[in-house]
A and B are shown apart, each in its own frame.
Chain A
């Protein structure tokens, strides 16, 4: 067991489970514990265990996934620059009102990545300085990467005026 997992288990007993697949070490926080535990756990990893770089922040929608218990998951991939270790913290949250604490105070690079998760999934991040859509137009009304949104959309892409040759 890597040493930092012992530190985490001592400080946050029972708040997370761990697993390993290929060379990814995962720390999974279920939806009922995520709002209180996530930020202190990440802060502990950053300051006490040496994981100083946030490599990745992505969202996943587990609707109808085999053996899924919660719906939305946000994956935080951390890297320890001095040892090269990586750890992936997965925090879950559910409908309605999916929410997670924002980690912008720990890593400023999370700002845009959290905005993108909000844009694509609708997961709100409490404490984020500027949570608004980043990739889609502001007036877009849906969250496209959710599993119940169709690939081809609901016709938004066709909804524009046409310019003919005579207009100049």
Chain B
């Protein structure tokens, strides 16, 4: 927002504080529920462990309307471009919770098909361990995220603009040289598989 560069700093920090307060108490999750953690996510949203107490019950399935992506469940190779495209469709400010062991690190599935942690491909803010995590753990993650938003949130999301370096685990993505890998999966920038893949 150009306005924030015109105002004096002490006013901007006050505005940031108010904006973060409002945003953290009305996070709209985008439930990217793939597997079993999705059921615990649904259970967190049901009557017993009501997530509506924290303002997060509006689970809109359209990424354009959400600000929190909860990746619940294992993400396989075929799903990574989909996940990336949904992440890019969400407007700033946006945050990501990686729920469960499979989303955080691959979990029990150290196989040819499951990515070993979505933070290799998407920036993640809060990780929730567990297989599946209990609803209380997910609620704790939302509370932690609320703290994070309060501490670091800005009214025009300018805190994200400079973070252009990769933030995931270091010893990874290219474990094999490009000559050794034998497949070129779809790039999220191209269209679906209905078109000829760009080789």
A–B touch (CB < 8 A): the answer is: yes
Binding site for B on A (CB under 8 A): 136-142, 144, 149-168
Query: Which parts of B147-199 form the interface with A (CB within 8 Å)?
Result: 160-168, 172-176, 180-189, 193, 197
Are A156 and B160 touching (Cβ within 8 A)? no
Taking a contact as CB atoms closer than 8 A, the residue among B77, B163, B181, B182 that contacts A166 in the complex is B163
Please classify the interface of chain B as helix (H, G, I), strand (E, B), loop, or mixed, using the class held by over half of its residues: loop
Q: Is the CB of A137 within 8 A of B77?
A: yes
Q: Chain A's nearest CB lies how many Å from the CB of B170?
A: 12
- Is B87's beta carbon under 8 Å from chain A? yes
Q: How large is the interface on B (under 10, 10 to 19, 20 to 34, 35 or more residues)?
A: 35 or more
Inter-subunit contact A160/B80 (CB<8 Å): yes
Question: Given A137-B77, A149-B112, A164-B165, 14 other A-B contacts at CB below 8 A?
Answer: A139-B186, A139-B197, A144-B112, A144-B113, A151-B111, A152-B110, A157-B116, A158-B120, A159-B185, A160-B80, A160-B120, A161-B84, A162-B121, A168-B92
Q: Contact: B122 with A155, CB < 8 Å?
A: no
Within the complex, what minimum Cβ distance (angstroms) separates B161 from chain A? 6
Measured CB to CB, the closest approach of chain B to A21, in angstroms, equals: 30
How far is it, in angstroms, between the C-alpha of A37 and the C-alpha of B161 when the chains are bound?
Answer: 67
Cβ B197 vs Cβ A166 within 8 A: no
Which residues of chain B from 70 to 88 have any CB-CB distance to chain A below 8 Å in the complex? Answer: 77-78, 80-81, 84, 87-88
> What CA separation (Å) do A136 and B76 show in the bound complex?
10
A155 in contact with B175 (CB, 8 Å): yes
Q: Which of B81, B111, B174 has the most CB of A within 10 A?
A: B111
Q: How far, in angstroms, from A140 to B183 measured CA to CA in the complex?
A: 6
| Chain B residues near A136 (CB-CB < 8 A) | 78, 113
Judge whether A157 and B115 touch: CB under 8 Å: yes
Q: Which residues does chain A contribute within 8 Å of B193, judged by CB atoms?
A: 137-138
Q: Are A159 and B88 in contact (CB under 8 A)?
A: no
Whether A155 pairs with B176 at a CB distance below 8 angstroms is: yes
A157–B167 Cα distance when bound, in Å, is 19
Q: Are A151 and B112 touching (Cβ within 8 A)? A: yes
- A137 vs chain B, min Cβ distance (A): 5
Contact A161–B187 (Cβ < 8 Å): yes
* Interchain CB contact under 8 A, B166 and A164: yes
Cross-chain contact A158 with B184 (CB below 8 angstroms): no
B56 on the A face (CB < 8 A): no
**In the assembled complex, how far is the CB of residue A135 from the closest CB belonging to chain B, in whole angstroms?**
9
Contact check, B176 vs A154: say whether CB atoms are below 8 A apart.
Answer: yes
| B68 beta carbon closer than 8 Å to chain A | no
CB distance from B157 to the nearest CB of A (A): 9
B-chain residues with CB within 8 Å of residue A154 when the two chains form the complex: 112, 176, 180-183
